[in-house]
Amino acid sequence: MVKRKSKTQPVKSGAELRRFTTEFFSYFGAAVGEADAPSDGCLTVELGDELAEHFGRPVLHLCFHNAEGVSGYDLVAHGSRTFDRMLAYLNGRGAATLLDLPSRHTSSEELLAAVRPLNASIANLRMSEQVRRLFVFNWRITYRSDDKREELYTVVLDEDGERLRLVGEPDAPAGALDLDALFADATEHANGADDSGGGHAANGQQAARPLPPMTHLVRLAEAARKIAIYHADFRCVTHEADVLPRLYRTLNRLTTYYGQQIEEVYDSHDPTGEKRRALEVDLERKIAEEVENHRLRVEVTLFSYAVFNLPVAVAEMTLSDGKREATVRVARNRYSGALERPRCHACGEETSAVAVDRNGHITCDNCIRQCAGCGEMVCAACGVAPCPVCGKENCDSCGEACWACGERACPEHISRCPVCGDTVCHACQAECAHCGTRQCRSHLHTDAVRTADGEYQLICAACAVRCPGCLQYSASIETCEASGQRFCANCLVTCAKCGKRVGPGFYQVHTETGKAYCSSCMTECPACGALTPETSVCVTCGAVGCHSCGAACDVCGRWSCKEHVHRYEDCGHVVCAEHVAYCVGGGEEICALCHAGCAICGQPVCTEHTIICRRCGQGYCPGCIGKSGLCETCAGIAEWGEPVDMQQEPCAAHPSVTELARQFHWLRTENRRYVIYMGRSGLLSGAVVTVERSLRGGKVVAAHRLSLADMLRDRFAWTGD
């Protein structure tokens, strides 16, 4: 009874304890009934002689919760006196139980149809009936601290020591064992055998059933104990979480009380401090006692175990494909009907469709592999591996491992390196771009000279020559026509004058042109003595020199010596003596490139002496601006201006000109740089548009209406329609 009602869950108080108590007394022949008491769930138990002697009274009144005002009832709870007596009565009773499970599934058709060979046939079949055993270990786990908690924990193992999950466990899988159903079926089977006379010896005693060897039981008990201890450790986390708050409350009460006692001791009453030290020592002692009392202690005790004899039908088959044989074993649980099929050698899963590979391994349909070389079947564990070059799968007999990458390559794509002698796949080898010899990539050099496509090629050590110029390896080696030495194509240059191919040290690069010249084409400059590929003649004095001894004019491009070249520090321009410009207003030297000439007369003028026309708003030299403040172009527009339709002019598309073009009658005149349009509408209304000429067309630089003052000032000069 104890084994059948043990649970893997802890025995709970309340309903679970009441059920356990009811079954306990009913099993030992006591009469259990409901009690008339104010608290629900109380029981009245009439005991037999043996139980009455053990409990010290013939009748027990039991309750399962603290019921105030109920007298004459004994509390049944973990750690209570009645519950401990119940456990003491069980101690030694039914410590070992051997039970047989019934054979419910006697047919062998399912057993024979459990396996379907794929590439073999059944050569031999042997059927046998066997008995397997399940071992049930019941552990009593006690947790002691400032209170006491107990639980019954059951561990079920098979003959190999593997744990079997039970129904009701948090992580129980589908098809877990129902321990209560096992005990009920085994007990019913045993009672049926007793009634029919089966299982009894001739003298009326039940036939003895041998227990497993003691060494086997001890080994399984140790394995079950480890599982129970692990469960107890896991449960300790919850119990300690309940104990610690109580410990903190107790310690807080002690420290508060003794702290007040120490504060109330005055210095005059305790001049030596002995009373305070005595209180402190007493506090430390009590704290140590409380910590020790609240320390969680766990005791795991085996109080019973049971052994189930499980009937099993076993079929051993010999599978043969004509070349090799393999033995598979199929078992059927006669009690539950569950089939135990052979496991795949590769994935370890049970399978009904089995195949025999080249090495005699049993494999499932998902783990079958076929070698592309020999065509043999192998399992995924023995396996085939894809060739790193062609990707075809090959087995260990057909393929060969590469020493470089470790991959298994097919025979067509693996060879011995002629340099190191290792067997390396072609994915780890490469051909020399110069001679075509295949070898390990680690023995090849990268050609320093790129191909026409801009790529670097690999060359072997026999074809690679180290260039004395750049010290890089290359197969593109040429001979210097000046020295006869061999250099790579990167180090050789072509002389811009004679076209010879020369190497480092035998040519110079012209700093201004960036062209290379060989030593034969270099001459000595008569001015500075430096080697130069070419010399120039000064346009002013006719002196000869290199480009470093003078400069080219930024205006005409002709070369001048240092004495006749003019450099402007502000803008950096260089001009020859012919193109030196002087301001028409002040006579000072100015840069002809930075200071454009007057738009009317074309003479150079500096910014300081430039005068702005008050009508068109552009700058001119002082000689082209009249006393009226108008330039000669604006002053003569009334006399020489050409009437135009402004809306047809290109500048009419400019946003600032579009509106003005429709409102005025226009005259057009121009000078070297600007085209000026003068518009009039009445005597005192006018506008002016100035367009600057450029290579890309005209650019509107000014467009505005004239003020009344400007119109009054110019009205006598206007001769329009």
Q: Pick the residue with more confidence: 630 or 564?
A: 630
Contacting residues for 109 by C-beta, under 8 A, at least 6 apart: none
Domain count of the fold of the chain:
2
Question: Does 299 have pLDDT greater than 90?
Answer: yes
Two tokens, residue 524: 């000595």
Q: How far apart are CA 694 and CA 399, in angstroms?
A: 79
| Rounded mean pLDDT, 148-161 | 90
Contact yes or no for 346/362 (Cβ under 8 A): no
Q: Is residue 693 part of a domain?
A: yes
Q: Taking residues 147-171, what's their average pLDDT?
A: 88
Of residues 60 and 557, more confidence is placed in: 60
Token pair 């030593």: residue: 519
Give the pLDDT score at 134.
92
Which residue, of 61, 93, 125, is where some domain finishes?
93
pLDDT at site 288: 93
Query: Would the pLDDT of 165 be above 50?
Result: yes
The answer as to whether 586 is a domain residue is no
pLDDT score for 63: 87
Residue type, 625: I
- According to the model, what pLDDT value does residue 135 have? 94
pLDDT of residue 712: 75
Which pLDDT band, with edges at 50, 70 and 90, does 312 fall under?
Answer: very high
Question: Is residue 175 in some structural domain?
Answer: no
pLDDT of residue 225: 95
Q: Taking residues 146-155, what's their average pLDDT? A: 88
Q: Which two tokens stand for residue 453?
A: 């496509």
Least confident span in 25-29, 171-175, 428-432, 582-586 = 171-175
The percentage of the chain sitting over the pLDDT mark of 70, rounded to a whole number, equals 92
- Amino acid code (one letter) for 576: C
Domain end, chosen from 69, 93, 117, is at 93
pLDDT band at 297 (very low <50, low <70, confident <90, very high): very high
Evaluate whether 379 touches 345 at the Cβ level (below 8 Å): yes
- Say yes or no to pLDDT of 5 above 70: no
Amino acid 67: pLDDT? 55
> Is 513 part of any domain?
no
Q: Is the residue at 277 inside a domain? A: no
pLDDT above 60 (res 482): yes
What long-range pairs does 441-445 form, CB within 8 A, spacing at least 24? 442/404, 443/417, 443/419, 445/473
Over residues 529-539, mean pLDDT: 77
- φ/ψ of 333, rounded to 5, equals -75, 110
Q: Is residue 20 part of a domain?
A: yes
CB atoms within 10 A of CB 249: 10
Write the burial class of residue 42 (CB in 10 Å: 0-12 exposed, 13-18 middle, 19+ buried): buried
Confidence of residue 617 (pLDDT cuts 50, 70, 90): confident
pLDDT value at residue 546 = 80
- In this structure, of 57-61, 297-301, 599-603, 694-698, the range with the lowest mean pLDDT score is 694-698
Calculate mean pLDDT across residues 679-695.
Answer: 83
pLDDT confidence tier of residue 499, bands split at 50, 70 and 90:
confident
- pLDDT tens digits for range 332-359: 989 888 888 999 988 888 888 888 888 8
Q: Is residue 349 included in any domain, yes or no?
A: no
Q: How far is CA 501 from CA 464, 467, 497, in A?
A: 21, 15, 11
Is residue 68's pLDDT more than 60? no
Cα–Cα dist 277/283, whole Å = 10
Q: For residue 37, give both structure tokens.
A: 């008491």
pLDDT score of 231: 93
**Rounded Cα gap, residues 547 and 557, in angstroms:** 13
Q: What φ, ψ does residue 70 adopt, rounded to 5°? A: -105, 115
Given a cut of 90, whether residue 542 has pLDDT beyond it is no
pLDDT digits (tens, 9 = 90+) for 406-434: 888 888 898 899 989 899 999 899 989 88
pLDDT tens digits, 176-210:
888 888 888 888 887 776 554 444 433 334 445 66
Q: What is the pLDDT of residue 70?
A: 62
CA 266 to chain CA mean position, Å: 68
pLDDT-derived band at 226 (thresholds 50, 70, 90) equals very high
Range of the domain at 57: 15-93
**Which of 93, 118, 137 is the last residue in one of the domains?**
93
Give the mean model confidence (pLDDT) for residues 492-510. Answer: 86
Mean pLDDT across the chain: 84
Q: What is the pLDDT, as a whole number, of residue 14?
A: 67
Selection from 152, 38, 146, 33 nearest residue 86 by Cα: 152
Who wins on pLDDT, 714 or 317? 317
In a domain, 690, yes or no: yes
Task: Name the pLDDT band for 220 (thresholds 50, 70, 90).
Answer: very high
How much of the chain exceeds pLDDT 90, in percent? 17
> What pLDDT does residue 141 have?
92
